[in-house]
Amino acid sequence: MVRILCINAAGKGDLHGIRARLLTQQLKAQITHVDLDRAQSRWQTSKEVWTLLKSQPWDLVYQESSGIASGLNLIRAARSWGQRYVISTGDPVGGFFYTTKGPLWGALFELYERLLYQHCTGFIGWTPYLTGMALKMGAKRAITVEGGADLQQFRPLPDEQRARLRAQWGLPPGHLVCGVVGSLKWTARQAYCYGLELIEMLQYLRRTDLSVLIVGSGDGQAILERRIPEALRPRVVFTGRLLPEQVTGALNAMDIGFITQTLDGLGNYRLTTKLPEYLACGLPVAMSPTPGFYDYVLPAGWALPAAHPSSPAYHRQCAQWLDRLSWEEVKLKSSQARPLATTYFDYHKGALRFTAFMEELLSQSPLTDDRV
């Protein structure tokens, strides 16, 4: 029996682990799933991964996320005994650290990223832009399998239920509800966290029938709350962190979901993991004008300004657009959202491509077991 080790480098309970299990369901193999413990030190995690890699001959190792504690061990195993592995990621590693930590960190992690891809047997990008980048960096084989959503859990709810959910969150009936779901971790280098654009644009709005729903938790919430003018506080609702089954209700309480990305070596290559869930719930999306917006969202959304989402110019332009926006246009965009989710973000369809790719890689000659 073919033996595959699946490593979720993003940690226990993370979406990456769910994705790995969904995608591998159709593989005819003995599959071992391991979710790394992000609470322990990287050194301890690295030692555990190395022991695991040496524990038996694995025909293939499949890792979700590009975490360095396990990724360096995969490179080492490939060089030591020819271990074959597949990397799947939704972020450009170097681009992420360049944007969030600065040029030096970006350069160091881009070197790691190149080595990770040059030694891999195959690469699976969450976007075609990441797939192209991996091939350019030296990956020998690659495929795109976008992030997905559980289309049974994330779905449009009846109008009566949506009205009850709005009342539950204290959202006024008849208001246009703009919202976001995500981590509210404040990034000092960017002076930004999700939801900032929604808070700041309120002061420029002329229309008074608009409220904001912010779902998530983090140190940025306190910063956002301090920025709300007293007169506008009744129009902003923070839910805190919600259980996955509660997120469906929150999305159905919104009329427009916001997704902001920086237009750089990070944002231009990625799709937020929440995009499939927004669309699956029939929620039209206001999104930064990245390639992903035009390729995956356009019929069901609007391009946000190209400025940085923390800039006053961005907030003013958002307000001007929303002041002009009609309910008819919102309803039209909403009708296009669910079909896009079923076309691009159905995990069953993604699993078919994933399985074909993995089976083809497995059909190649097995590794020579010469481990040290």
Summarised one tens digit per residue, pLDDT across range 35-90 is 999 889 999 999 999 999 999 999 999 999 999 999 999 999 999 999 999 999 99
What is the spatial distance between Cα 214 and Cα 171, in angstroms, rounded to a whole number? 12
Does residue 3 register a pLDDT over 80?
yes
239-259 pLDDT per residue, tens: 999 988 899 999 999 999 999
pLDDT, one tens digit per residue, over 91-146 is 999 999 999 899 999 999 999 999 999 999 999 999 999 999 999 999 999 999 99
Locate the DSSP E strands across 90-235. Answer: 122-125, 142-144, 176-181, 210-215
Confidence of residue 366 (pLDDT cuts 50, 70, 90): low
What domains does the chain contain, in order, with CATH numbers? 3-148+346-362 (3.40.50.2000), 159-343 (3.40.50.2000)
Task: Answer yes or no: is pLDDT of 372 > 60.
Answer: no
Tell me if 109 sits within 8 A of 116, measured CB to CB: no
| Single pTM value for the model | 0.92
The residues pairing with 61 across neighbouring beta strands, listed in sequence order, are: 5, 85
Cα separation of 7 and 32, whole Å? 8
Shortest CA distance to 49 belongs to which of 30, 76, 79, 73? 73
Q: Which of 363, 362, 340, 361 is nearest to 146 (CA)?
A: 340
The predicted pLDDT at position 256 comes to 98
**Structure-token match 């030591």, residue found:** 80
pLDDT of 237 higher than 80: yes
Q: How far apart are CA 358 and CA 365, in angstroms?
A: 13
User: What is the pLDDT averaged over residues 176-191?
Assistant: 94
Q: Could you tell me which of 234, 214, 206, 194 has the C-alpha nearest to residue 321?
A: 206
Within 13 Å and on the Cβ side, how many CA atoms surround 237? Answer: 22
At 244 the pLDDT is 83
The answer, yes or no, to whether residue 287 has pLDDT greater than 90, is yes
pLDDT tens profile 147-168: 999 999 999 999 999 999 999 9
Q: Cα 42–44–45 angle (5° rounding)?
A: 60
| Interatomic CA distance for residues 354 and 125, integer angstroms | 11
Nearest to 180 by CA among 222, 226, 212, 225: 212
Residues in the chain: 372
pLDDT in the model for residue 58: 97
Mean pLDDT of the chain: 95
